[in-house]
Structure 1
Amino acid sequence: MKFSRTSTTLAVATLLLGSATALAAPGQAATPSRFDDGSFEFPTAPANSFTEPGTGQSIGPWQVTSGNVDLIGAGFWQAAEGDQSVDLNGSTAGTIAQTFTTTPGTTYTVTYSLAGNPVVGPTVKTGHADIDGQDFQDFSFNITGKSTTTMGYVGRQFTFVAANATTTLSFASATTGYAGPVIDNVQVLPCKPCPTC
């Protein structure tokens, strides 16, 4: 069963006119700061629908760096946290990235919730999480038995040591077509020092 992409024909600028968190024009990357909006709550996508930002556009502090993705609005399907999530496949496989400040030499933990678009497409959705362009974790999700109301999110985690004063975290789909892995509830936190004995 295919679902309509009619809502994607709305002009993003019109949809989000006047919003401080609107999709940025190509090349307008935000100045790196703390990691933010890991649950993709801003800007607000239409309820029970989605928008499809493409390469060079932004979802709040996230930049679409290749292909396009679907920003899923409240009610379209179950979110892991908050109301919204991101399908890493819009009409094609996409990549989202966020650059944020880090302390060189510090170890950080990345956690996120993973599911897959349960409506159409391949049964197994695949992709990878990257740090500064380096593949840090491959992921896959099987949608068998899943639905829009029971997405079956699983928690994933990995750590990295910051090499620079800024770090770029990205999530990329390796799934063909327009129904890919779903990402939500991304968090990046410095690891706490081990207590002394």
Structure 2
Amino acid sequence: MLVSRTSLTALTTAAILLAGAGTALASPADGSGRTSHPAASSTAAVSRFDDGSFETPKVNTNTFDEFAAGQSFGPWKVASGTVDLIGAGYWQAAEGDQSLDLNGMDAGAASQTFSTKPGARYTVTYSLAGNPELDQVPPVKTGKVLIDGQNVQDFSFDVTGKTKTNMGYVRRQVTFVATGPATTLTFASTTLHSATGPVVDDVTVERCKPDCCD
């Protein structure tokens, strides 16, 4: 399990699930060399989705930081539980240097609120994996994607055969329709009673062209 950790709110949005269920990733790290960090100041809703590869703040190489409910890291905020921000070198990232384990001491959730146009469709794409340390059960990590608190996609990821240098990331996608001027995207672990959970990275949010999401 990860030891050092740091941590959005939602406006009303109707979410329409247009993509199938995904597979999950992530699990918290286990070991030594963690350091505690104070909570970052809260961040207001941003004008656009940002830092989908979890590069802010920078975590010491080969370590991770734990963030608890109410704490912020970059434009993300921990909505519940605890999460681990994984530094460069700890394990393979899907993009950039860092990634996010949705389980810190136990299941957690991370959210980001960003501006949207009511009635417009948006596609969320992300890379999913799991903590490969098989001594940390269960091997199948599960979680869900929420839009303004509504579950729009469940995912799971089996870490059997995966390693820190070969995480086995898979790309997953879900589309929603915004009904308000701001939307909150949340990734939440449903892997309970475990310090190892699903891992997410390389998250993108794109507004669909009129004919792209039919």
TM-score, with normalisation over the residues of structure 1?
A: 0.88
Q: For the residues of structure 2 that align with 1:173 and 1:3, how far apart are their CA atoms?
A: 17
Bigger CA radius of gyration? 1
Which residue, 61, 64, 67 being the options, matches 1:47?
A: 61
Instruction: Give the equivalent residue in structure 2 for 1:147.
Output: 163
Instruction: Give the equivalent residue in structure 2 for 1:77.
Output: 91
Q: Which segments of 5 or more consecutive residues in structure 2 lack a partner in the other structure?
A: 2-28
Q: Which segments of 5 or more consecutive residues in structure 1 lack a partner in the other structure?
A: 14-22
Structure with the largest fraction of helix: 1
Q: For the residues of structure 2 that align with 1:131 and 1:148, how far apart are their CA atoms?
A: 30
CA RMSD of aligned residues (A): 1.6
Cα offsets for 1:31-79 (capped at 9, x unmatched): 3320000000010011001000111111200000100000000000000
Aligned residues: 182
Please tell me whether residue 128 in structure 1 is matched to residue 128 in structure 2: no
Q: For the residues of structure 1 that align with 2:123 and 2:109, how far apart are their CA atoms?
A: 20
Report the alpha carbon displacement of residue 4 of structure 1 after superposing the two structures with TM.
2.2
Instruction: Give the equivalent residue in structure 1 for 2:211.
Output: 194
Secondary structure at the residue paired with 2:103?
coil
Q: For the residues of structure 2 that align with 1:138 and 1:131, how far apart are their CA atoms?
A: 12
Secondary structure at the residue paired with 2:55?
coil
Please tell me whether residue 138 in structure 1 is matched to residue 163 in structure 2: no
Report the alpha carbon displacement of residue 30 of structure 1 after superposing the two structures with TM.
2.2
Report the alpha carbon displacement of residue 192 of structure 1 after superposing the two structures with TM.
1.4
Please tell me whether residue 183 in structure 1 is matched to residue 200 in structure 2: yes
Given that 1:89 and 1:179 are in contact with CA atoms closer than 8 Å, whether structure 2 keeps it comes out as yes
Q: For the residues of structure 2 that align with 1:30 and 1:45, how far apart are their CA atoms?
A: 22
Map 1:1-197 → 2, pairs under 5 A: 3-4=30-31, 6-7=33-34, 10-13=35-38, 23-25=39-41, 28-119=42-133, 120-176=136-192, 177-194=194-211
- Supply the AA of the counterpart residue of 2:207: P
Cα offsets for 1:78-104 (capped at 9, x unmatched): 000000000000011000000000000
Q: For the residues of structure 1 that align with 2:32 and 2:101, how far apart are their CA atoms?
A: 13
Given that 2:45 and 2:115 are in contact with CA atoms closer than 8 Å, whether structure 1 keeps it comes out as no
Query: Runs ≥4 in structure 1, deviation > 3 angstroms?
Result: none
- Supply the AA of the counterpart residue of 1:143: V
Given that 1:121 and 1:180 are in contact with CA atoms closer than 8 Å, whether structure 2 keeps it comes out as no
Among the aligned pairs, what percent are the same residue?
Answer: 59
Secondary structure at the residue paired with 1:64?
strand
Given that 2:119 and 2:177 are in contact with CA atoms closer than 8 Å, whether structure 1 keeps it comes out as yes
Higher relative contact order (CA 8 A, sep 6+): 2
Given that 1:54 and 1:64 are in contact with CA atoms closer than 8 Å, whether structure 2 keeps it comes out as yes
Report the alpha carbon displacement of residue 6 of structure 1 after superposing the two structures with TM.
4.9
